[in-house]
């Protein structure tokens, strides 16, 4: 066989191909580090603030700013921040005041947070802003609370000048052959990556630079065009995207949102489905080990999915029925689920904070459905709460879950662009043992419609990828674009017979 095409054509001729795993072998290549600089900063923050509709500052300040000088060149900037108390919010701004990185301790760990970002020939005096909150903030209908802070904070900034902006977050292309083989499928290799779209004079990425979206989308379209040629002559039903969004970028649909703190545009895996003709899912996790375990849980699901937990279907809704999904979807749909043979539990009002959910083993279920507010680092909790009762990445990553399906109708819970992967709550559930997560990469609205997915899963016995892609045939936006599946699209979860 003389070339790649002949190899692929020969394999296709041996047996019918229904499963494809796409991967980027360049995810094993790291850029060279040319030089390195480390900076350490310390300060004390003292503040008393009360909230009643709006915040009232009584004394002190809840924040501190540090400044760092970033030279010309390609710089990978990392920051580790710690505090003696409270919740940390850390943001990095360039010399023009543009947000280029963000993190908080709910996404990272108790009294610590981390972020990293790129600066490409974008020299200047950057500002690191650190804000501490410590107290109670709640009241969905009448916001109120207080924050009292007397904390020492430390920041350690590491700047590395690197040879290339190509920064793979995971090195998992090596897992694609195993996944494809387990489904009698094939691997499609592509060397396209998002860093080809980066330009001099920028910091961050597509999430905060809308001008990059046409270049990133061009890379995705080129990959999709090659993928279309590849699947011709097959009966491909499933496509697994094996890699992070730097190496296998998402397509950015346009959005009216101008707030870079939640991300510009709407990143989506939709184009890889070839106009929704294939069921798609992305294999992604905190790290290579987690990704390997995710694949193993999917491949051996029927061997490990046993016990009373798999008959449980859990519904969690937002603040005190303030989220209409609890009334108009979850309560009536729970009756349908119960009639199908599931044991149903519903948590809302004062029973949807982290402590109550953990006490009631809410995350020990075959299906876990959440409708309410969300972010990439937490699920919004109950009507009166403190800073420490949210279900956040910092705590969820320590759960011990069975191979559950986590379905969410909430903003941003599947966002992975512009943040460290280990700060995403969807991937925290996968780290804890879940076998699949469905969520939105950006802010959404009332167009949740999880029942489109659930009906196909539990009534029609489809794979999760097929149920997911069938829901995309409806026209509502932005969920159609923003909603993604993290997991093996060919997984067919258990349901009562």
pLDDT reported for residue 349: 66
Which residue stretches of 324-411 are H helix? 325, 331-339, 354-359, 393-396
pLDDT reported for residue 446: 62
Q: Which residues of the chain register pLDDT less than 50?
A: 322, 384
Angstrom distance (rounded) from CA 304 to CA 159: 44
The one-character DSSP state at 460 is S
Please measure the distance between the N-terminal and C-terminal CA atoms of the chain and give it in whole angstroms.
48
Q: Which two tokens stand for residue 95?
A: 């010399």
Provide, for the chain, the percentages of residues in helix, strand and coil under a 3-state DSSP scheme, each rounded to the nearest 5: 30, 35, 40
pLDDT reported for residue 474: 82
Whether cis (ω within 30° of 0) applies to the bond prior to 251 is: no
pLDDT reported for residue 317: 85
Angstrom distance (rounded) from CA 186 to CA 183: 9
Which is it for strands 124-133 and 63-70: parallel, antiparallel or unpaired?
Answer: antiparallel
Domains of the chain: 1-29+166-496 (3.40.50.1460), 33-162 (2.60.120.380)
pLDDT reported for residue 4: 75
Three-state secondary structure call for residue 98 = coil
Q: Which residues of 23-48 are buried (b: 16+ CB within 10 A; e: fewer)?
A: bbbbbeeebeeeeeeeeebeeebebb
């Amino acid at each position: 066989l003389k070339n790649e095409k002949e190899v692929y054509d020969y394999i296709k001729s041996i047996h019918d191909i229904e499963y494809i795993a796409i991967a980027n072998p360049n995810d094993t290549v790291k850029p060279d580090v040319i030089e390195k600089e480390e900076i350490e900063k310390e300060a004390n923050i003292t503040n008393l603030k009360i909230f009643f509709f709006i915040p009232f500052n009584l004394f002190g300040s809840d924040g501190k700013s540090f400044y760092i000088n970033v030279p010309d060149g390609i710089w990978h900037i990392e920051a580790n921040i710690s505090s003696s108390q409270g919740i940390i919010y850390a943001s990095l701004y360039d010399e023009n005041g543009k947000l280029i990185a963000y993190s908080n301790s709910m996404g990272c760990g108790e009294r610590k947070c981390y972020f990293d970002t790129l600066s490409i020939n974008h020299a200047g005096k950057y500002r690191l802003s650190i804000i501490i909150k410590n107290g109670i903030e709640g009241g969905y209908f009448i916001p109120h609370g207080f924050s009292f802070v007397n904390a020492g904070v430390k920041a350690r900034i590491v700047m590395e000048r690197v040879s290339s902006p190509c920064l793979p977050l995971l090195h998992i292309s090596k897992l694609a052959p195993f996944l494809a083989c387990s489904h009698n499928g094939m691997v499609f290799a592509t060397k396209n990556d998002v860093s080809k779209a980066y330009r001099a004079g920028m910091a961050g990425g597509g999430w905060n630079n809308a001008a990059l979206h046409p270049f990133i989308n061009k890379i995705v379209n080129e990959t999709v065009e090659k993928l279309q040629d590849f699947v011709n002559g097959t009966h491909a039903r499933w496509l697994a995207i094996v890699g992070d969004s730097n190496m296998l970028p998402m397509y950015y649909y346009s959005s009216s949102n101008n707030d870079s703190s939640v991300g510009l545009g709407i990143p989506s895996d939709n184009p890889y489905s070839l106009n929704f003709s294939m069921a798609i899912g992305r294999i992604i996790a905190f790290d290579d080990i987690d990704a390997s375990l995710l694949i193993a849980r999917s491949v051996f699901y029927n061997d490990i999915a046993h016990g009373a937990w798999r008959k449980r279907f859990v519904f969690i809704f937002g603040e005190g029925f303030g989220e209409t999904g609890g009334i108009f979807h979850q309560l009536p749909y729970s009756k349908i689920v119960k009639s199908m043979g599931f044991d149903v539990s519903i948590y809302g009002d004062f029973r949807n904070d982290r402590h109550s959910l953990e006490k009631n083993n809410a995350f020990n279920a075959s299906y876990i459905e959440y409708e309410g507010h969300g972010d990439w680092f937490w699920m919004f909790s109950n009507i009166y709460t403190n800073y420490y009762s949210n279900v956040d990445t910092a705590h969820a990553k320590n759960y011990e879950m069975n191979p559950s399906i986590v379905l969410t109708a909430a903003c941003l819970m599947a966002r992975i662009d512009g943040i460290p992967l280990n700060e995403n709550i969807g991937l925290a559930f996968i780290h804890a043992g879940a076998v699949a997560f469905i969520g939105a990469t950006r802010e959404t609205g009332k167009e949740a419609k999880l029942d489109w997915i659930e009906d196909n899963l539990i009534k029609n016995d489809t794979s999760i990828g097929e149920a997911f892609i069938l829901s995309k045939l409806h026209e509502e936006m932005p969920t159609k674009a923003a909603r993604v599946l993290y997991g093996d699209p060919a997984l067919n979860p258990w349901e009562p017979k």
